């Protein structure tokens, strides 16, 4: 297993300070998380920083995650006192429901007041969960840069929504060290940690191992595998499965050498793009 993934650039520290300094200026916090990894994509630092503020949790990329798990996690976060919406910020699914909720909160804020003030909110989340896509949907223009790579947004941005509400965008923030190696792996699987700092061949092998246990039918169907390596018979079943995927896809170099790098890029891209199936890597324990 890939261990000790550490990712804490200087701008992450600045983001923490930015949130602390501006929290008193906002009425609520919109926290965007990745529905495929509802625990790993929630930064405990953010959770501590915005404690006490009204919060809307956006389960984003819900088109890529397991619909049954989306419902389970949504109810879980509601029971914790949060407002929750399941969205696909890239396509705009869920945006009307979000506007409806924001308008309701703004009306509640201004109830009994002669001067109607626009709602002010802060958007937070780890890198690559879809904050920029959501902002662009709300503002009706490309106010924030988007991409499938982490670390695109920089600096502090106050933006106006189409209905006059004010939104403070903040760069994605990870935490200094992942105590549980699985958290780092989940974030890496979903692209919240730059591939450039990782051994992607090993990362993809780890992902194949996880999928073989959690979503074996989807993995076999996508790569036309007749069977998966037997854990009791193989020293490294994930590697065996990866090599079989290479053979099925023709990822073979000169001298019949297996092209692990090409396979890794393919598997990671296809998982992140939802081509393997609607997958949730973190299940809520009963």
**What does the pLDDT read at residue 10?**
55
Same domain for 72 and 145, yes or no, is yes
* Residue range(s) defining the domain that contains residue 129: 10-169
**Residue 285 resides in a domain:** no
- Which residue reads 């503020």 in tokens? 53
- CATH number reported for the structural domain that contains residue 133 in this entry: 3.40.50.300
Band (pLDDT 50/70/90 cuts) for residue 244 is very high
Rounded CA gap, 265 and 259, in Å?
A: 10
pTM (2 decimals)? 0.87
Q: How far apart are the first and last CA of the chain?
A: 27
pLDDT at 285 over 80: no
Pair (111, 226) in one structural domain: no
Task: Assess whether pLDDT exceeds 60 at residue 106.
Answer: yes
Percent of the chain at pLDDT > 70 equals: 88
CB-count exposure of residue 143 (10 Å: 0-12, 13-18, 19+): middle
The per-residue pLDDT for 126 is 87
Domain contains 3: no
Same domain, 42 and 159: yes
Kindly give, in sequence order, each residue whose CB lies less than 8 Å from that of residue 65, ignoring residues fewer than 6 positions away: 34, 35, 36, 59, 278, 279, 280
pLDDT in tens, 74-102: 999 999 999 999 999 999 999 999 999 99
User: φ and ψ at 60, to 5 degrees?
Assistant: -85, 165
Whether 180 shows a pLDDT value over 90: the answer reads: no
| Number of folded domains that form the chain | 2
> Using one digit for the tens of pLDDT, what is the confidence trace for 217-235?
999 999 999 999 998 888 9
28 and 89: one domain?
yes
pLDDT of residue 81: 93
Report whether 44 contacts 58 (CB < 8 A).
Answer: no
151 pLDDT exceeds 50?
no
**CA 137, 141, 145, 147 torsion-angle sign:** positive
Q: Which two tokens stand for residue 34?
A: 């990745």
Asked whether residue 235 is assigned to any structural domain, the reply reads yes
Find the CATH number of the domain harbouring 205: 1.10.1580.10
**What are the CA-CA distances from residue 285 to residues 33, 39, 125, 248 (Å)?**
19, 12, 23, 35
Q: Is the domain of 165 the same as that of 212?
A: no
Residue identified by tokens 């696909």 is 88
| Mean pLDDT (whole number) for 108-133 | 91
Handedness of CA 14, 15, 18, 24 (dihedral sign): negative
Using the CB atoms, write b or e for 24-38: b if 16+ within 10 Å. Answer: eebbbbbbbbbbbbb
């Amino acid at each position: 297993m890939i261990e000790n993934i550490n990712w804490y650039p200087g701008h992450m520290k600045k983001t923490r300070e930015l949130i602390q300094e501006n929290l008193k200026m906002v009425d609520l916090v919109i926290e965007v998380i990745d529905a495929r990894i509802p625990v790993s994509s929630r930064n405990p630092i953010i959770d501590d920083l915005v404690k006490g503020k009204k919060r809307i949790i956006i389960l984003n990329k819900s088109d890529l995650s397991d619909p049954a798990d989306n419902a389970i996690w949504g109810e879980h976060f509601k029971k914790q006192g949060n407002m929750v919406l399941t969205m696909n910020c890239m396509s705009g699914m869920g945006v009307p429901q979000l506007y409806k909720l924001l308008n309701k909160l703004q009306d509640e804020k201004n109830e009994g007041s002669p001067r109607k003030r626009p709602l002010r909110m802060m958007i937070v989340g780890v890198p690559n969960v879809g904050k920029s896509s959501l902002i662009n949907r709300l503002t009706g223009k490309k106010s924030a840069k988007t991409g499938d790579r982490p670390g695109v947004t920089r600096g502090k941005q106050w933006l106006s929504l189409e209905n006059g509400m004010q939104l403070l965008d903040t760069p994605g923030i990870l935490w200094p060290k992942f105590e549980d190696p699985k958290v780092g792996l989940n974030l890496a699987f979903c692209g919240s940690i730059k591939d450039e700092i990782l051994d992607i061949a090993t990362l993809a092998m780890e992902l194949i191992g996880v999928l073989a246990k959690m979503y074996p039918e989807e993995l076999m169907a996508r790569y036309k595998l007749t069977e998966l390596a037997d854990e009791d018979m193989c020293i490294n079943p994930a590697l065996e499965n990866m090599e079989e995927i290479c053979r099925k896809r023709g990822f073979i170099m000169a001298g019949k050498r297996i092209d692990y790098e090409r396979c890794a890029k393919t598997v990671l891209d296809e998982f992140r793009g939802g081509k393997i199936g609607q997958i949730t890597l973190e299940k809520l324990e009963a």
